[in-house]
């Protein structure tokens, strides 16, 4: 018997903006400031994204904002939408906030002390004695890392219920007067969203995805691949165009190592629930594994409908999987993040 992932629910802020609208705004914001702008803006049409959701209206991005103002918006929105996603996830598995035994909050796009998990205990009406852990700085890999962390906790607490919530507001990190290429590309990819997952220890009688194994891998000497520079203007995004090449070089070996820990081979995997970091990243996975485009269709669909929401994105993919009539079998949940690192979870879906 092993811990199980029994429920996932998501939430997005109220401002839905089409990719065409964002492109038009980016053209105005960066006009005359970024060399070869029109050529760079082709990333919008190549991103595989139709729309994204943001915590602030489109006009907000055309102005400069103080870090204090930005973070205040983050705290308010993260608390509200995290509570919404957690309530929905609990309802889907017939549980209440008072049933939570351990709460983990995952984030990279804002700061709060007291941390958001403390605020959620108050808002949700959880027991005030439950342990809680904020996980910060894992970027896109944070959602998978949070699931793996909760699995480790429940292995030692088989009678308990754990909740992980990943809340990312990438739009709030946009700096209007940052003329870097990374800022332009980020404006074409990232959105805001929240995902919550409920996991149960092995002694809890709830159906779900059995967590079979987890794997964490840090790639040495790659700190400059993905992350943030903290400046007086705010958080300046950093990500390198070499990411697809890293996937091509390491993904197959990482998958094989995860499967080997459970004495399985690649032929055993029926489901791939991957964080859609971008179209080129998904294509690199497909080529590395020798799989067809349809295998990562859920990841592509989430990217198209929401963009890249950092750590929360993979929970949107898992939610779609749980809502489907997918067959029994083994599956892999995986994401890449700052470090540069890979986080993976091997699961088994049963009847």
Q: What CA–CA distance (Å, rounded) separates 22 from 191?
A: 11
Please give the C-alpha separations between residue 344 and each of 80, 181, 214, 273, 313, in angstroms, as whole numbers. Answer: 29, 30, 6, 10, 14
Q: What CA–CA distance (Å, rounded) separates 125 from 67?
A: 30
Q: What CA–CA distance (Å, rounded) separates 225 from 160?
A: 38
Contacts of the segment 29-36: beta carbons below 8 A, 24+ positions apart: 29/61, 29/62, 29/176, 30/179, 30/184, 33/179, 34/179, 34/181, 34/184
- DSSP letter for 308, please: B
Q: What CA–CA distance (Å, rounded) separates 68 from 73?
A: 9
Q: What CA–CA distance (Å, rounded) separates 276 from 111?
A: 25
DSSP string, 325-348: -PPSEEEEEEEEETTTEEEEEEEE
Contact (Cβ atoms closer than 8 angstroms) between residue 138 and residue 105: no
Structural Rg of the chain based on CA atoms? 19
Instruction: Tell me whether residue 140 is one of the annotated catalytic residues.
Output: yes
- DSSP letter for 316, please: H
Contact (Cβ atoms closer than 8 angstroms) between residue 110 and residue 228: no
Contact (Cβ atoms closer than 8 angstroms) between residue 7 and residue 322: yes
Please give the C-alpha separations between residue 241 and each of 83, 150, 167, 185, 295, in angstroms, as whole numbers. Answer: 35, 32, 25, 10, 24
Contact (Cβ atoms closer than 8 angstroms) between residue 96 and residue 90: yes
User: Nearest-5° angle of CA 95, CA 100, CA 101?
Assistant: 140
Question: Catalytic residue among 93, 126, 140, 170, which?
Answer: 140
Catalytic residues: 140
């Amino acid at each position: 018997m092993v811990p199980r992932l029994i429920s996932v629910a998501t939430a997005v802020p109220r401002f839905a903006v089409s990719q065409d609208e964002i492109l038009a705004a980016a053209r105005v914001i960066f006009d005359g400031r970024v060399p070869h702008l029109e050529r760079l803006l082709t990333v919008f049409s190549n991103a595989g994204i139709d729309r994204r959701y943001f915590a602030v209206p489109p006009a907000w991005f055309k102005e400069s904002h103080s870090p204090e103002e930005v973070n205040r918006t983050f705290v308010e929105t993260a608390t509200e939408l995290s509570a919404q996603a957690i309530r929905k996830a609990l309802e889907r598995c017939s549980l209440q906030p008072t049933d939570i035994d351990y709460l983990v909050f995952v984030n990279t796009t804002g700061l709060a002390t007291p941390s958001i998990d403390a605020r959620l205990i108050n808002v949700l009406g959880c027991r005030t004695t439950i342990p809680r852990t904020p996980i910060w700085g894992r970027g896109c890999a944070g959602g998978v890392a949070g699931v793996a962390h909760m699995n480790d906790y429940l292995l030692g607490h088989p009678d308990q219920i754990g909740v992980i919530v990943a809340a990312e507001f990438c739009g709030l990190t946009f700096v209007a007067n940052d003329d870097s290429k990374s800022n332009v590309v980020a404006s074409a990819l990232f959105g805001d969203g929240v995902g919550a997952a409920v996991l149960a220890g092995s002694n809890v009688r709830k159906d779900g995805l059995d967590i079979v194994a987890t794997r964490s891998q840090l790639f040495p000497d790659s700190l400059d691949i993905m992350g943030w520079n903290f400046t007086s203007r705010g958080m300046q995004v950093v990500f390198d165009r070499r990411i697809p090449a890293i996937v091509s070089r390491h993904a197959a070996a990482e998958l094989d190592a995860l499967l080997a820990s459970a004495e399985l081979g690649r032929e055993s995997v029926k489901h791939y629930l991957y964080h859609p970091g971008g179209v080129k990243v998904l294509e690199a996975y497909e080529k590395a594994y020798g799989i067809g485009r349809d295998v990562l269709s859920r990841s592509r669909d989430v990217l198209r409908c929401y963009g890249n929401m950092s750590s929360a994105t993979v929970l949107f993919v898992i939610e779609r999987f749980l809502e489907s009539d997918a067959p029994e079998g083994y599956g892999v949940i995986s994401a890449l993040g700052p470090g540069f690192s890979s986080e993976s979870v091997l699961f088994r879906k049963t009847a």
